[in-house]
Structure 1
Amino acid sequence: MSAESGAERPETRRPRRSAASSAAFAAGVLLVLATATLGAFAAVTLLGRAVDAAPLSAMVPDDGNNALIVGGIAVGGLTGLMLPVILFGMVRGNEETPRVTPAAAARKSLAILVFDVLLLVVSVLVAQLGWFLPTQLTTVVAVFAVGFSWMPLAMVPWERLGLGDGFGKLRGPSGPSTSHQAQ
């Protein structure tokens, strides 16, 4: 078979989206971006008040406040991004990607909250560098520490723990439904 055999196949056209579905998609994207942005602002405000008031004031040095701001942006942005997506998944589905069940949505929401706690712990730990480092260096370390704090979780073998399908499998042209047809 030659390398150009793909040119002989008839063209298959993808169905066009209607204007209403395109508008609904655009509205959904704007809603998710708005909730992520507002969530980041809300988390930064709450953490700023917690540092300025009694709970965290003795625990976080002045040069470490920016580390908590970075952590607040990550926590609020992640929560504001993922919760609407999970809620959309509960009401939208088709044959290939079924709707998210309430139990699965609760598990996913709990996983997001646990990860938020991890981000907060990382940001408080990095804020402790404010005792030794200037504000700018503490902020740079916080951006990298909070930004890459998900990497240890990516190395856990979730499939062996029975949690491999926690956020769904990627489906595409080489997914499980089409891989047996190619053989």
Structure 2
Amino acid sequence: MAAGSEAGHPEARRSVAGNIAFGAGALLTLATATLGAFAAVALPGWTVAPGPLSGVVPDDGHNALVVGAIAVGGLTGLMLPVILFGMVRGNEANGGGTPRLGPVAAARKVLAVLVFDIWLLAVAFLVAQLGWVLPAQLTTVAAVFAVGFSWMPLAMVPWERFGLGEGFFTFRGSSASRRAK
């Protein structure tokens, strides 16, 4: 029997507590992603229908902005809790565990999420312009593909030249970051 697998050991209790904390964190993250997507859907209705963008976006392009807003709300709602959990999870030293995310690194990651949100909205706005020549259903399908694959050009940018390479876009525990050590 493995060490710590018995109910009387403190390691087993920490494991159960860790599992409960992980489950609560996962539920919170999924809830914020879902609520963020629903909340962001209100943005195109507020800015397009009677708002300042009503003359710029055709009627058949409104769904493209909704697709972009869902992506922005879902991404932001997913990433902000993950970044905040990274600030409190881990330990101070780079020793055996995962390092805690510092405030400057967290701010840079939040800024990267916001820049990507602006990118997604710009892509959705450009696809919405197809509503001048295509019906609403085709514009919506084009928006799903355009917004869904809009991260690909950003993946080709050499982020290391801007000082945003190693450690900025890498995930914890990824095999690439382990090989670099």
Per-residue deviation, 1:170: 5.1
Q: Gaps spanning 5+ residues in structure 1: where? A: 1-10, 179-183
Post-superposition CA distance 1:107-163 (Å, at most 9, x none): 000111011001001101100000100111000100010011100110111123321
* Separation of aligned partners in 1, 2:143 and 2:32: 23
**TM alignment of 1:1-183, pairs within 5 A:** 18-94=15-91, 95=95, 96-164=97-165, 165-168=167-170, 171=173, 175-176=178-179
Change (3 A) 1:127 1:111: same
Change (3 A) 1:90 1:119: same
* Separation of aligned partners in 1, 2:173 and 2:20: 25
| Sequence identity (%) | 68
1:6 alignment partner in structure 2: none
* Separation of aligned partners in 1, 2:75 and 2:123: 15
Matched AA of 1:151: M
Aligned residues: 168
* Separation of aligned partners in 1, 2:144 and 2:55: 22
Q: Which runs of 4+ in 1 moved over 4 A?
A: 11-17
Matched AA of 1:31: L
Change (3 A) 1:111 1:12: same
User: Could you state the TM-score of these two structures normalised by the residue count of structure 1?
Assistant: 0.83
Whichever of the two has the greater Rg, that structure is: 1
